[in-house]
Amino acid sequence: MKGLLFTYGTTVGGALAALINPFYGLLAYVSFAIIRPEAMWPWAVPQGRYSLILALAMLIGFVCTKRADFRLGRSFPVIALLLAFLGWSYFEAYFPPNQFLAWDYVERLWKIVLPFFIGLCCIKETKQLKQLAWTIILSQGYVAFELNSYYFSGYNVLRDSGFADMDNNSAAIGMVTGIGISFFMGLHADRLWQRGVALFFCLLIGHCILFSFSRGGMLGALVAGVATVFVVDRTPKMYALMVLAAIGAAVLAGPEVRDRFMTTFMKQGEVREASAQSRLDLWKDCWDVTMQDPVMGCGPNHWPVLAPRYGWPYGKEAHSLWVQTLAELGFPGLIMYLGFYLTCIFRLWLLTWKSTPVEDPWHRYVARMTIVGLCGFIVSAQFVSLESLEIPYYTALLGCGALKLSTARYEVLLWGREADPHGFVPDSYSPALAVV
């Protein structure tokens, strides 16, 4: 019953709110993208077009209201790469033999890029960044809570069945991306109880990564932890907290989890573990496909069609988002897609510097949580093919929102204005930020 009430209530409430302010429709859309109501409560929630209703209401509100601000500032190169990747995918879809598969890829990408663009244009204040971060935390945290409940009841549904048509590896990637947001919200939330909620969900998400037995997920979480060391304030209190987090992760990871993770790097004689070796073989075959047409690739969604030529079953994925993108969309597609995330990280990195002045400290906090989440995602995505996983895109949206809002501080220096649109005049100057 709770699932049905949540789904119908969020659909109706989110759609009505989106007609007034499309950003509220985006929040509901993001929540559905993470929780997947039909998969979370299949016995209660019938199949429906809930996300489509929210998307249409969001689009109507975006067109009919005056909520959009198209001054994207320093987030423009990031969104430009994402739109270029969509355009390249659209162009590529005309040529492959299986048009259904090709256009299905484009359709799924449209369902992500359009809300991303609307959300970025509607972000005008820091409060909205907090709302988006909390939506991701609460949605991902609830999924983690349910998966932990199954685990402690004696059934590891995440490892055995995955979640929402995703296997354990794909679901673990989503958890890796969300753990940075929950951790930094646990450090910087406005109220003590909010920090407690965020850290509680961070613990649940981290535990999910461990009992997923996904080596890519574990490696991504490790990289996210390393990235955290580089972006946090270097204070004794912060280092103590990170040591406690590392100890907690070591305690939660039992012998079986540690042994599973170590098989990523170990060999028995001259032979790798079978699953790890099969990935290397898949990547080698994808490289061969890429070399046949380095610019165009084999077409969207078409590596699984070509897999039988190399001895793999039909429909076999490459088990690497980046390698499969390269094989299917060529070097231009990979450059635009991976560049979207890397450009976001690079521009946000400058916001984490203490020498970089920020109008609102939350811009720096959001930059940190986005960097950590995306670093973990980029590494773990090397081991899974899942271009339609939505939480990395909305994590990047958080960072783009911070870039957009932080631009106001530098408009005076770049354009010679006496004051920016918010009436703020900077008192210090960062040449690096002004250039990039």
Q: Are residues 72 and 38 in the same domain?
A: no
Of residues 321 and 409, the one with the higher pLDDT is: 321
Distance (Å, whole) CA 99 – CA 107: 12
Q: What is the pLDDT of residue 383?
A: 87
Residue 35 has pLDDT above 60, yes or no: yes
Last residue of a domain, one of 18, 41, 67: 67
pLDDT of residue 233: 76
Residues 49 and 145 grouped into a single domain: no
Tell me which residue range forms the domain holding 7: 1-67
pLDDT at 262: 54
Residues 58 and 81 in one domain: no
The residue written with tokens 């521009």 in the block is 347
Sign of the alpha-carbon torsion through 187, 32, 141, 226: negative
Same domain, residue pair 129 and 258:
yes
% of the chain at pLDDT higher than 70? 85
- pLDDT of 410 > 60? The answer is no
Say yes or no: 83 and 50 in one domain.
Answer: no
Say which residues have a Cβ less than 8 Å from residue 348's Cβ, sequence separation at least 6. Answer: 367, 370, 371, 399, 402, 403
pTM to 2 decimals? Answer: 0.88
233, 150: one domain? yes
Are 173 and 235 in the same domain?
yes
Q: Are residues 54 and 73 in the same domain?
A: no
**Token digits of residue 410:** 């530098």
Task: To the nearest 10°, report the CA torsion of 385, 390, 391, 393.
Answer: 100
pLDDT at 434: 40
Taking the C-alpha atoms of residue 371 and residue 180, their distance in angstroms, rounded to an integer, is 8
pLDDT, mean of residues 310-318:
90
Instruction: Supply the mean pLDDT for the chain.
Output: 85
**What domain count does the chain have?**
2
Please check whether residues 22 and 76 belong to one and the same domain: no
pLDDT of residue 261: 53
Average pLDDT over residues 323-336: 95
CA atoms within 13 A on the CB side of 32: 29
pLDDT tens digits, 88-129 = 999 999 999 999 999 999 999 999 999 999 999 999 999 999
Same domain as 339, residue 241 = yes
C-alpha distance from residue 236 to each of 52, 196, 232, 240, 424 (Å): 48, 21, 11, 6, 34
Q: How confident is residue 415, by pLDDT bands cut at 50, 70 and 90?
A: very low
Domain boundary among 41, 67, 93: 67
Query: Which residue, among 115, 177, 146, has the nearest Cα to 6 in the 3D structure?
Result: 146
Please indicate, yes or no, whether residues 146 and 213 belong to a single structural domain of this protein. yes
250 vs 293, more confident: 293
**pLDDT confidence of 409, banded at 50, 70, 90?**
low
Last residue of a domain, one of 67, 87, 115: 67
Q: Do 27 and 97 belong to one domain?
A: no
